[in-house]
Structures are given as structure tokens and as C-alpha cells.
Structure 1
Amino acid sequence: MNSYVGKQITLFQFISIISGSQVSVAVLNLPRKLSEAADTDGWIALIIGWALSLIAGLAIVGVMKYYPNGTLFDLLSEYMGRWAGVLAAMLFALYFFYLMYDGLVRTILVTKTWLLPTTQSFVLMSLLLIPAYSIVRHGIRNVARYAELIIWISLWIPFVYIYTLKHAHWVYLLPLLKEGWLPILTAVKATIYPMLGMVSIFILYPHLKYKEYATKGIVIANSITMLLYLFVTIICYVYFSPEESHLFNDPVISVLKSIEFKFIERIEVPFISFYLFIFSLIWIPMMYLLTYCIAWIFKRESIGIPLRLLIILLAVGTFFYFPTYNINNFLVRQLFWVGLILEYIFPVCLLCYLWLSKFWKEERSSL
């Protein structure tokens, strides 16, 4: 699994995968969660959350610089033995499955709520898995090209939200720091889950064509994510009153009801249909990363068999059981803690370990 010839991705594709996996389904209810913790000052927490996410992302890039021609699992195998690499691959495979499944479940729940309420969940799951399989089975370059395409064709969406500002009341944002810094610091917790996805760098790094730009890439990707979140959060805050901002489950969708056209009654319906492409930026890359982990464990170059088994498992499993909104919210709360450990704490600790290891070796060699 050490050959990356012909599997390289560009810097923009690198940015598209990271930022796309972060935004995806997490953007829908983020304004509500921030409002519940800090009222209309919740947007300030996004800036703090961005800074923390950026530090974690830079730590991941710093780790990968110690082994630029391999993934995290190759690095751990080199420094600690293959058992460490296999253990990490198993752990991250479970984490990528968690992220992928959460994205699929949330997408299906939103689709059933707004578009197809009578369609069975396993039918929707099957319809989502078919194109995902077609993209993922061709490898990381296809996944990267898909993410890049979705970013380009989604550039018109912010202009639509700007149109809703004709109903804005900017006074809703005042006064700043209504209840001090404590509610804002509490709201930072709500920014952790929407910023998850940086851990994909551990596998994407050796595929990056120009690795010297990885640091620039993570800064740009996290900044794009933060600006998008800040944009939609402020729009929701100035459109809804402070009392209303936490009453809508998905305010990013509800705000679209202010847009009216004579030829369409519910403008949010075509928008949600298009959002499915954006939502897919979480489960399609994570599906590849998951199957890569499994293939690495068994020393296989191809992800074909793990991918087909995963597709069958998801389709059959959904036929017998599918989570409700409450169960999904519980999974999200658990994902917060897992993501906090794997994406924020683990990279910093590993970077410190690698730095100390290198320092000790240099000290011994100098004696």
C-alpha cells in the first residue's frame, strides 16, 4: 500500500475534500446549536472553534512531515512496529465508518422530512449507495475530482442566501457579549462536531502532489469552512429574532422560505435536492478512507472487496434497522467525544512524541 504513483491529487482537491467533509450535513442545525448556548453571540464561538481546529490540523500536517511518503499507519509501523499501524488502522476504520454512517443517516432523515416522507429508509439508502460505489471504487483521484466538482457547482448558493438579507434586522446581533464570555466559551463545544474531518489528512497527505503546500491547504480549508459557517449563522441570526433562532431544527433550510417565486410554491424543496450533492461530501470520502484502512490491514492494493462488503452491509442493515432523529442526535454526541480525541488530542500528542523521539536520537548521536 506504499505506491502512490498515478494516485496524486491537487492542492484544490485536497482542500475540497477537507472543507467539504467538514461542512456537509453539519451546517444545517449549527446556528440553532450555537444560539442555544450563546444566543446571537454564538457566531463568535465559531472563530474560537476555527482557531482550535486550525491548530489540530497543523499538528496533523506536522506529524505527516515525519513520514511524507506514507500514511499514518505506515508512520506508526515505522516508529513502533506493525502492530501499532494495524491497531491505528482498525481504530480509524471504525471512526471513518462512524462519520460516514452519521452523514448517510442525517441525509436520509432530512430527505424524508422535507422531500420523500413516505419512502422507506432502505430504498433511500440504496439510492445513495449506488452512485457512491461508482465513485469510490475508482480510487482517491475520482473521489477528489468529485469533491472538486461539487465545490465548483455550489458557488451560486451563497448568493441565494444573500437575497434573504432584505428581511434582515441587524439590530438582532446587538449588543455584543450580552451575557459575557462564558456562554460563548460554552458554545465552542458546538463547533467541534462541524469541524471534524481533518483526520483525513493522515491518509490524503502522501497523495498530495505538492506536499510543501499542505500547511497552506489546511489553513485555506479550515478558513473556508469557518467563513461558510459564519456566513449562514449570521444570516440566520439577523433573519430570525433572538427568540426564534433556536426554535427551528434546521434554520439553514427554514430561512429559504422567505424566497418567493410565482412558478414554485416551496423554494426549499429544489434546494434540499441540490444539497444532497453537498451532503455526499462526507459519506463518499469517508467510504474511501474506511475501505482503505481495511485494505491496508490485509495488505491489499485494491479496495474493491471491502467496498462491496460495506455496500451490502449498509443496504441490508438499513432494511432491518434505521435510527430515528433522537438516536442520530445521540450518535452525534458520542461522535463529538471520539472526534475530540482522534482529531484534536491525538495529533498533538503524537507530534510531541515524534519530536521528543527525534530529539533523543539526536542527543544520543551527539554523545
Structure 2
Amino acid sequence: MPGNPVISLRQFVILVTLFSLGSAILYVPGVLSIHAKQDAWIAALIGWALGIGIVWIYVALANRYPHLSLVQCSEHVLGPWLGKAAGLLYLFFPFVLAAIVMRDIGDFVTIEMLKFTPIEIIELSFTFILIVGGYYGLETISRIGELMFPMIIFLFLFLVVFVSPQLKIDHAKPVLEHGITPILLSVKTYIGFPFMELSIFLMILPYVKRTSGAKVAQAFIAGTGICGLMLFVITAASILVLGPSLTARETYPSYLLAKKINVGDFLQRIEAFMAGIWFFSIYMKLVLCLLAIALGIAQLCRLKDYRPLLLPLGVIIFVYSLAISPNMAYMVELTGKLWTAFALTFSLLIPLVLLIVGSFRSRN
């Protein structure tokens, strides 16, 4: 990156939290409820623990090669030809992720807010601000995240506090009615979305100010832990307020949850403010995906500046997001069936291979 930007550990924690929330804060309650039903909160806890375990793999690789991104690490460990191939193969993951997330934005806005606005206009507008954010770089994005993070936490707590009078414990009963198998099916989806997506930070970690490997590990796990806690709370609240059946049927259960807020018949219809949490966190997710792709290609091609790549990459992501799925129902079904396997192949297997091969080479 131009100027070798450095971000603090605190900023890194915030970036990890916002990236993980992304589209997950709207989708996760419904995704977990499809199989686990009223036990979705148990699936959220198990997936949270497994997600932290996955992050440990990323931390181990980052601490072994602290000044190398994942693309540079693949060349260093596997050699110039095989390493370039592995790095290019990995970059397909943030590209597909960015296209899916971009489509999520278009679908949400056209379904819930601007029903008569073409999805192309929504996504094109978002693509523009995405490219602008990528051009200003990692340091600027990190400072914006640091500035907005307290507001995100405030809005989240506001939602939880004012919806809590409507909680019904009976909606969570009976516990483990159908055994552990449905919970494990939900966990399988949950670890792919969003925890395996965190491998993208292996492209960012060389630009984090390091005092020690342990501090980096703590920061990465802290960000994952905060996100896991927030997703657990929103999942439990959705189950206890909406009930497991409605939560599983709704595409955006947490958005519907915000519609339930009613304080004295005065404070109502504030779901647009809750959507603000999602819009900002999903923007951070998209811009980090775009930075990872552009930076990775620049490193593979030995370019001095990644910024000339932002415009063509943004346009390609925009076009691919429109072509990837004919409608919202198809997208939900497709990602539900294939995303965890896709993330496992690209986002977990490649870093794990690099870690194992690098360990053997260092011993020899």
C-alpha cells in the first residue's frame, strides 16, 4: 500500500467486529433457526466457540510470517509459480464474497425500503462510494470505523433494551426437542458465515502496528468475540420475541425485530435507524474485500500502487453481483447449501496448508 499505512490494535479490533457483523446481523437469526428452531441460541454459542478456534489458525499463520500478506506468504512458502497460483486462487474468495454482499444490499433496499427503485441504481451508487473508500485507503477506513463504532454499539443496545419487554421464555422451550443434529446443521452454516470469512484479514495484518504476536492474537480474538456476542444476543432476542417459526421464515428477522419496538405508543417505526447498523457494517465489509483483492493482485503483479485497480474491480463486482443470482430466494438457497464448503476450500484450507508446509520447511 502507498505510504505503508499502520493501524492500531484498537482499530483492528473494530474492523474485525464490523466486518464480521456485515450482513450477518440481518441473516444469522433466520439462518440458525431453519434447522435448530428454538435451539438457535445454542447453535450461536457453539458456532461462536468454533469461530474463535478458526481465528487461531489465522493468527498462527500471521504470527509465523508477520510482515507478509496471505498472497506474499503463499509465494514465500510454495515458491513463485505454485505460490502465485495459490494466491490467485485465494483471491477468488473475497471477490465472490464481495459480489454476494453487494447483491445483499440491492435485495434488502429494494425489498424493504425502495421497492420501485431498480436494483442496478442501488448497487451502482454503493459501488461508487466503495471505490472512493478504497482509494482513501486502510488508515482512513480504520479511522471512520473507530469514529462510528460507539454509535453502532449504542443503536444495538437501544434495540436490545427496548425490545426486551416483549421477550417470552416459552418461545425457547422445549430445549433440545429434536436432539443435537439440527443444531450441528445450523452450526455448519454459521462457521462459514461469518467466521471463515475472517481470513481476509490475513491481507490486512501486515499493516497492523505490532507490539507482540500475543497482542495481535488478543485483538483478533477480541473482535471475533464481540461480534459473536452481538450475534448471539440478536439471535436469542429474535427467538424470544418473534418465535422460532417466524424467525426461520423471515429473510430479515432482526429488521422485523426492530419494527416491534413500541415505547408508550410514541417511540415507533425506528427500524431505519437499526438498518443503519447494517449499512455501515456491510460497507466496511465490502471495502475491506475490495482492498484485499486489489492489494493481492498488486502484490502478485509487483505493482507499486493498488489504487488503479479499484475502478475496474468495482465495476466487475457490480456486474457479477447482478449476474450471480436471478432472485433473492435463489441466492438464499444457494448460499445456504454451498457457502460453508466454498469458504472451507478457499478460506480455511489454503491458510492451513501454508501453515503446515511452512512449519515443515522451517524445521528442515
Same fold per TM (> 0.5)?
A: yes
1:183 Cα deviation (Å)?
2.0
Q: Which consecutive unaligned segments of at least 5 residues does structure 1 have? A: 362-367
Larger CA deviation: 128-137 vs 45-54: 45-54
- Give the length in aligned residue pairs: 358
Q: CA deviation at 1:159?
A: 2.2
Distance 1:35 1:317 in 2: 29
Q: 2:349 is matched with which residue?
A: 345
Of the structure 1 ranges 222-231 and 17-26, higher mean CA displacement relative to structure 2 is found in 17-26
Q: Residues 139-150 of structure 1: matches in 2 within 5 Å?
A: 139-150=137-148
Moved more, 114-123 or 138-147: 138-147
1:177 partnered with 2:180: no
User: Following the alignment from structure 1 to structure 2, what is the Cα–Cα distance between the partners of residues 241 and 107?
Assistant: 26
Match of 2:339 among 301, 314, 335: 335
Whether the 8 Å contact between 2:77 and 2:83 is mirrored in structure 1 is no
Equivalences for residues 29-108 of structure 1 within 5 A: 29-108=27-106
**2:195 paired with 1:195:** yes
Partners in 1 of 2:254 and 2:184 — Cα distance? 23
Q: Hey, what does 2:258 align to over in structure 1?
A: 256
Q: More deviation in 317-326 or 191-200?
A: 317-326
- Matched to 1:33, the amino acid is V
Q: Would you say the 8 A contact 1:121–1:322 is kept in 2?
A: no
Partner residue, 2:158? 159
Q: Which residue of 2 aligns with 1:231?
A: 233
Distance 1:85 1:17, change over 3 A: farther
Residues 207-262 of structure 1: CA deviation (Å, up to 9, x unaligned): 11015211101211111111011100110111023433322221101112222366
Note the alpha carbon deviations across 1:99-136, whole angstroms, 9 max, x for none. Answer: 11111110110011111111112211121122211111
User: Does the 8 Å contact 1:27/1:194 carry over to 2?
Assistant: no
Taking structure 2 as the reference length, what is the TM-score of the superposition? 0.90
User: Secondary structure at 2:289's aligned position in 1?
Assistant: helix
Q: CA separation in 1, counterparts of 2:118 and 2:236? A: 35
Structure 1 contact 102–331 (Cα < 8 Å) conserved? no
Aligned to 1:365: none
Deviation at 1:298, TM superposition (A): 1.4
Change in CA separation of 1:132 and 1:35 when aligned onto 2, cut-off 3 Å: same
Q: Distance in 1 between matches of 2:118 and 2:324?
A: 11
Structure 1 letter corresponding to 2:135: R
Q: What residue is the counterpart of 1:356 in the other structure?
A: 360
| CA offset digits 1:173-220 (Å, max 9, x no partner) | 233222222222222112121323211232112111015211101211
Identity of aligned residues (%): 20
Give the structure-1-normalised TM-score.
0.89
Cα RMSD (Å): 2.4
- Structure 2 residue runs without a partner (length 5+): none
Between structure 1 and structure 2, the one with the greater Rg is 1
